[in-house]
Amino acid sequence: MATRENAKVPALFAELRQPQSDYLLVPSVSSERRTYVPIGFISAEVIVSNLVYSLPDATLFHFGILSCTMHNAWMRFTCGRLKSDYRYSNTIVYNNFPWPDLAQSSE
């Protein structure tokens, strides 16, 4: 039913998925020649593309984990491929990564 209602105004976006705060951007495809997947903090004013993943309200902890050698090794082992390039996945790579427990690491 919502799809039919939204079809009445085709010039408007039906689902807004733009983060309301600054976010961490992770590309969905990265060259196999890179040692690390290039990620970075992006302003909320920059519109998210369908070719990237965004992590709203990310902290330096998230940035550090996603930039570390262990996570990049995990990504190379578990991700899919587009030709020979790495294809990052939020469901396979990110969600299944064994994140350290922040509460235990701060003790």
Q: What is the pLDDT of residues 8-51, one digit of tens each?
A: 888 887 777 889 999 999 999 999 999 999 999 999 999 999 89
> What is d(CA 47, CA 17) in angstroms, rounded to the nearest whole number?
9
Helices (H), the chain: 2-6, 60-67, 69-78, 102-105
Number of independent structural domains in the chain: 1
Question: Does 107 have pLDDT greater than 60?
Answer: no
pLDDT-based confidence at 106, cuts 50/70/90? low
- Report the candidate in 25, 8, 29, 19 with the shortest Cα–Cα distance to residue 67: 25
Tell me, rounded to whole angstroms, the distance of Cα 74 from its chain centroid: 15
Say if 28 falls within a structural domain: yes
Type and span of the H or E element at 56? strand 52-56
Q: What is the pLDDT of residue 104?
A: 65
Say if 74 falls within a structural domain: yes
Tell me, rounded to whole angstroms, the distance of Cα 18 from its chain centroid: 13
Q: What is the pLDDT of residues 49-77, one digit of tens each?
A: 989 999 999 999 999 999 999 999 999 99
pTM score of the predicted model: 0.78
> What is d(CA 104, CA 27) in angstroms, rounded to the nearest whole number?
30
Q: What is the pLDDT of residue 103?
A: 67
Say if 47 falls within a structural domain: yes
Say if 45 falls within a structural domain: yes
Residue 43 domain boundaries: 18-97
Residue whose tokens read 């997947």: 37
Say if 82 falls within a structural domain: yes
- Report the candidate in 67, 39, 64 with the shortest Cα–Cα distance to residue 54: 39
